[in-house]
Amino acid sequence: MTMNRQVMFVMLEVFVCAMAMVLVMSIDFAGAASSDKAITSFYFTSPAATGTINETAKTISVIVPYGTDVTALIAIFATTGVAVKVYGLPQTSGVTHQNFTIPLSYVVSAADTTYATYIVTVTLDPGPFKLPDSGQTSCYDAAGSVSACAGTGQDGEFIVNPMSFTDNYDNTITDNVTSLLWQKCTLGLSGSNCATGAAALYDQYGSSTACVNLGSGWRVPTIYELRTIADYGLTTLAIPHTNNYTPAINATYFPATQANIYWSSTTYAYQPNYAWYVNFTDGATYNDYKGSSYYVRCVKGQKVGD
């Protein structure tokens, strides 16, 4: 009987110790701070737009309708973290508004004080591409004299999507018709009037590298895009006492443009070592050997043409 009592005491002690260990483990587990810190959804309701989350890259991309004012958008988001901040300021889903004209860093903090940073980029849907007007507003008779346009069926009779530009005062120009963003100056030139430096010449291969080096999204325009900024309503007469011509482009927005050839990114399909260009002496389009050296103006935006 004594032996059985001793065995029972030993078994009780083992049980009590086991329960104590379980209790300690439970306390430790319950007290461990969570490391969760993800943004699991991100969207706007006005306008309606849902973000695409790349958890690996920690990026969120949202495309909003063309014309949306992105300076005060209110994001609705879900997170597994305990706090979300932008520029160090707490963000409340569905309440806090932000200026999304540039990518923003959303910093998500976990309970264990670790954090993750998501880069949120909001871009405008460019909408359907619109072809701007040629710039011609006059009509001509058989002798080449200006005449009334009514009933002639000439280009000048129909003004559709007139050319319109906005100077962003950051060395870029927005085409208000096509929504393309252009470099104000020919590559090699800079300044508000593009009077600093010298216009650089590139072969067609080098032109691509030069535009890409300007930063994300910059590229050589397609031939379709390049032709949209040629103004065919301008009289490109030679400047007196020189062999120079006034270029066929709006000089207010594109100052110091060379009355010469500018490369496009479009290959001449019949002869693939040639590419198309626009000659801004008069807006003429043709092609030449890609190894030739011409001028370049870079563009950014939804690509039109090949």
Residue 212 three-state SS: helix
Yes or no: say if 173 and 166 are a contact pair by the CB < 8 Å rule: yes
Q: What is the pTM of this model?
A: 0.59
C-alpha separations of 191 from 160, 186, 198 in Å = 32, 11, 11
Residue 224 three-state SS: helix
Single-letter residue type at 295: Y
> What does the mean pLDDT of the chain come to?
88
β strands within 93-175, DSSP E? 97-98, 104-109, 115-124, 139-140, 146-147, 165-167, 172-175
Domain 39-124 fold is: Immunoglobulin-like (2.60.40)
Q: Enter the tokens of residue 36.
A: 């969760």
pLDDT at 31: 59
Where is average pLDDT lowest: 128-137, 188-197, 281-290?
Answer: 128-137
What does the alpha-carbon distance between residue 122 and residue 131 come to, in Å, rounded to a whole number? 25
What does the alpha-carbon distance between residue 142 and residue 195 come to, in Å, rounded to a whole number? 41
Average pLDDT over residues 36-59: 96
What pLDDT band is residue 142 in, cutting at 50, 70 and 90? very high
What does the alpha-carbon distance between residue 34 and residue 271 come to, in Å, rounded to a whole number? 63
pLDDT at 23: 45
In degrees, rounded to 5, the angle at the alpha carbon of residue 66 between the alpha carbons of residues 69 and 54 is: 85
pLDDT tens-digit map of 78-118: 999 999 999 999 999 999 999 999 999 999 999 999 999 99
Domains of the chain by residue range: 39-124, 164-306
**DSSP string computed for 58-103:** TEEEEEE-TT--GGGEE-EEEESSSEEEETTEE--TTT-EE--SS-
**DSSP string computed for 192-207:** TTS-EE----B-HHHH
Q: Enter the tokens of residue 27.
A: 């306390």
Superfamily of domain 164-306: Mannose-Binding Protein A, subunit A (3.10.100.10)
| pLDDT over 80 (residue 257) | yes
pLDDT at 190: 96
pLDDT at 306: 61
What pLDDT band is residue 47 in, cutting at 50, 70 and 90? very high
Single-letter residue type at 109: S
What does the alpha-carbon distance between residue 265 and residue 209 come to, in Å, rounded to a whole number? 11
How many Å separate Cα 55 from the centre of its chain?
Answer: 21
Q: Give the number of other CB atoms < 10 A from CB of residue 180.
A: 21
C-alpha separations of 183 from 125, 154, 202, 213 in Å = 20, 32, 16, 13
**Closest alpha carbon to 274 in 202, 205, 219:** 205
Average pLDDT over residues 179-199: 96
Whether cis (ω within 30° of 0) applies to the bond prior to 65 is no
Yes or no: say if 163 and 177 are a contact pair by the CB < 8 Å rule: yes
